[in-house]
Amino acid sequence: MQENTDKIKKKQPLLAVKDLKVNYGTFEAVRGVSFSVVAGEIFGLLGPNGAGKTTTLSAIEDLVKPASGSITVLGETVDDKPSIKAQMGVQLQSTSFQPELTVQEIIQLYSGLYGKELSMEDIRGALRSIELEDQAQKHLSELSGGQQQRVSLLITTLHDPAVVLLDEPTTGLDPQSRRQLWKKVEDLRDKGRGIVLTTHSMEEAQAVCDRIAIIDHGQTIASGTPTELIAEYSHDPRVKEVAHGNITLEDVFIGLTGSAIRE
């Protein structure tokens, strides 16, 4: 992980978010968030409910308009540029595909929407890559949660995007399915994509993310590699108060954002 982090520091960003501010009426949902993601990196965006993670992703996807700041992909602004938006793949926490279609038909449909022509051999190869070749004729509802998420990740990357946005992709998965999905996300990183991952699992963030940013109340309150953050805040009284044994990333997260439950 450290070797990968050293390489990251030398690369130009695929995605750059600078001084992002987003308002809903008089409410400031995001207040000056900045970060960048390079090729071959998994960047974790962490925060409690209501911290501004989803709003930040929505701004990157051009679903909400920032009050100020800038968002660039491959050096170009995202807004109203289909060619730049096509460089992003987005996997939502909950995705509804057409229930009457089989897995194979869903892949055919979305490859067509992306303008990417796939032969039957291409489709079999794609399903083989996520270990679901024998599930091609099943409807998505017939698959397990982990299998559905692997299909969703495949659809998200059919058009070979440079930047992949994953919004809590492992929520509700059992440990085996979660580890399988981690491997698929790491495979995307190893192919040179830049990945933004939101998650409530600090174990997941510590295991797969090269760098992370913790945001709360719309602002970045800490950033760095998981190891750097643990080292930096291991002696912070707020972190020591909530720790049980050796300091973990979860202790840092709770120490900095508080123990109160967010709805």
pLDDT in tens, 209-229: 999 999 999 999 999 999 999
Residue 212 identity: I
Contact 21, 77 (CB under 8 A): no
Closest CA to 200 of 52, 44, 94, 56: 44
Same domain for 17 and 140?
no
Q: What is the CATH number of the domain that holds 184?
A: 3.40.50.300
Contacts of 14 (CB under 8 A, 6+ apart): 37, 38, 39, 73, 74, 162, 163, 193, 194
**Do residues 2 and 67 both lie within one domain?**
yes
Among candidate residues 134, 160, 186, the one where a domain is terminated: 160
Both 12 and 109 in one domain: the answer is no
pLDDT digits (tens, 9 = 90+) for 151-183: 999 999 999 999 999 999 998 889 999 999 999
Whether residues 169 and 147 fall in one domain:
no
Given a contact cutoff of 8 angstroms between Cβ atoms, the answer to whether 33 and 20 are in contact is yes
Q: Does one domain contain both 125 and 193?
A: no
Domain that holds residue 65: 1-87+161-227
State the pLDDT confidence band at 247, using cuts at 50, 70 and 90.
very high
Q: Looking at the structure, do residues 118 and 137 belong to the same domain, yes or no?
A: yes
pLDDT tens digits, 32-42: 999 999 999 99
Structural domain total, the chain: 2
Residue 250 included in any domain: no
Tell me whether residue 80 is in a domain: yes
